[in-house]
Amino acid sequence: MPVSAATATKLREAMARLLAGEPLHTNGALTKENLAREAQVSHATVHRAEVILAEWDAKVARPVLRTPGEVQRDETITDLRKQLREAKAQVTEAQGKLDALAAVTANLYHENIALKKKLGSNRRLASIPAPATEHGPVRTDG
């Protein structure tokens, strides 16, 4: 059963607003339910308007169920995931450098131990006296 001309006009105007992203009565998601709400008619009325539903299906081949806020949220999530990937890559690179430095330090430590063993008890340590100043000792009592 077709709908009245006034209802068809309401539905076409509502469709135009939804497709333009300028809804007055809904969240803007491109659904048949929102088409009914935007036109302020019942859901059953939308389904009786077969010609208008065919136009809707032609223009909205694949229903998009995300609102502009959801789209923005998803873009933010995508950006944050990219930043997280980059930060993880930097951490992995820094960890690799730390591991390499730890290996070098361990090798130097073992070489130092080996050199000390090689010197054995033949090494001599000598204390070097502090150089004397020309003016005598420095006074600190004022």
pLDDT band with cut points at 50, 70 and 90 for residue 136: low
> Which residues, 6+ apart, have CB-to-CB distance to 83 below 8 Å?
none
- In this prediction, residue 123 carries a pLDDT of 65
Question: What residue ranges do the domains of the chain occupy?
Answer: 5-59, 68-118
Burial annotation 52-83 (CB, 10 A radius, 16+ → b, else e): bbeebeeebeeeeeebeeeeeeeeeeeeeeee
- CA distance linking residue 52 with residue 11, whole number of Å: 7
Computed over every residue of the chain, the mean pLDDT equals 87
**Segment 28-55, tens digit of pLDDT:** 888 899 999 999 999 999 999 999 988 9
